[in-house]
């Protein structure tokens, strides 16, 4: 008997275990495959800042799935057409950037939920193979994460978290820091206070707190703050820093510690 289709992250998010993810900015299936086989629980194809277009997306989602990770996509800001196409192509979760208001959070829900919960058009071309065609079941399986990354979003945090149909938030720490007058990529008590406030809000609304991190060590720090999903750097970050370290080693020089956001 065939095993039930669905999103493997769903049952795991019901437990207390943290989930760690990869981030794909390079537009090649092999890079996505390498990320997917690294031991991550999920891998996100970044279509906002990454180099991937729709023509590359399907093969990258296939590579991630075959590697054993759960495929997700961060869509370009406000591009709800791509959101629906990414889901039809087999993405099991979407990250919506720059969600600063309740209205934008409601738009995100409409684009990734079938009626009556949303306005997603029916056409699960590849998704039928991995999630199913039953719309009620699919609505339960697809993860909808909205990004909190600005001062305006923090001002509207309670209302955004209350929007029916979102599963949680995904924190963009670089933009969150910038919008509050802090440099990106640097830890500070002020930034930690904002991150903790987001976790507290998620707990009060039974939402998933997720975040982008600089490194494995940074991910552990964010788990200690209460984050349930932590993406670790990106393929381009680790390719660049890893290769640089080896060249420095060959030259008997010392390089700076590796890490980065995207």
CATH number at residue 209: 3.20.20.60
Q: What's residue 65's pLDDT?
A: 96
The token pair at 223 is 């788990």
Q: Do 40 and 69 meet the contact criterion of CB atoms below 8 Å apart? A: yes
Is 180 known to be catalytic? no
Q: Report yes or no on 257 lying in a domain.
A: no
Domain assignment present for residue 82? The answer is yes
Q: Give the residue-averaged pLDDT of 141-155.
A: 98
Q: Looking at residue 186, what is its pLDDT?
A: 87
pTM attached to this predicted model: 0.95
Q: Which residues pair with 49 in a beta bridge?
A: none
| pLDDT reported for residue 5 | 87
Q: Is residue 211 part of a domain?
A: yes
Token output for 190 = 């002020």
For helices 54-67 and 80-88, give the axis angle rounded to 10 degrees.
40
**What's residue 184's pLDDT?**
87
Q: Is 98 within a domain?
A: yes
pLDDT in tens, 87-100: 999 999 999 999 99
Instruction: Single out the catalytic residue among 49, 80, 130, 212.
Output: 49
Q: CA-CA distance, 233 to 231, in Å (whole number)?
A: 7
Does 214 have pLDDT greater than 80? yes
- Enter the tokens of residue 99: 């969600």
Q: What is the rounded average pLDDT of the residues 109-122?
A: 97
pLDDT in tens, 154-210: 999 999 999 999 999 999 999 999 999 998 888 899 999 999 999 999 999 999 999
Predicted confidence (pLDDT) at residue 259 exceeds the cutoff of 80: no
Please tell me the predicted confidence (pLDDT) of residue 258.
Answer: 64
Number of domain units in the chain: 1
pLDDT at 257 over 80: no
Residue 261 lies in a domain: no
Task: List phi, psi (to 5°) of 24.
Answer: -110, 110
Domain containing residue 123: 17-247
- Candidates 82, 80, 72; CA nearest to 118 is 80
Residue 11 lies in a domain: no
254 falls within a domain: no
Whether residue 253 lies inside any domain: the answer is no
pLDDT at 1: 39
């Amino acid at each position: 008997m065939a095993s039930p289709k669905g999103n493997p992250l769903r049952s795991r998010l019901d437990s207390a275990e943290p989930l760690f993810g990869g981030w794909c900015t390079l537009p090649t299936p092999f890079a996505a495959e390498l990320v997917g086989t690294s031991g991550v629980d999920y891998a996100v194809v970044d279509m906002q800042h990454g180099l991937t277009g729709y023509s590359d997306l399907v093969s990258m989602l296939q590579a991630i799935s075959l590697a054993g990770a759960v495929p997700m996509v961060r869509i370009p800001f406000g591009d709800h057409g791509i959101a629906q196409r990414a889901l039809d192509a087999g993405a099991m979760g979407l990250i919506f950037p720059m969600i600063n208001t309740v209205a934008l959070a409601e738009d995100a829900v409409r684009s990734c939920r079938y009626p009556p919960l949303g306005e997603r058009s029916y056409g699960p071309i590849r998704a039928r193979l991995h999630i199913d065609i039953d719309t009620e079941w699919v609505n339960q399986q697809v993860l909808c994460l909205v990004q909190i990354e600005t001062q305006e979003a923090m001002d509207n945090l309670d209302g955004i978290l209350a929007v029916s149909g979102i599963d949680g938030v995904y924190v963009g720490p670089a933009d969150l820091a910038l919008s509050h007058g802090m440099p990106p990529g640097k830890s500070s008590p002020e930034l930690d206070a904002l991150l903790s406030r987001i976790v507290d809000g998620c707990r009060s609304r039974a939402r998933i707190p997720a975040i982008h991190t600089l490194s494995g060590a940074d991910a552990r720090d964010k788990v200690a703050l209460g984050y349930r999903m932590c993406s670790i750097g990106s393929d381009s970050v680790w390719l660049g820093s890893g290769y640089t370290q080896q060249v420095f080693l060959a030259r008997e020089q010392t390089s700076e510690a590796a890490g980065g956001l995207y």
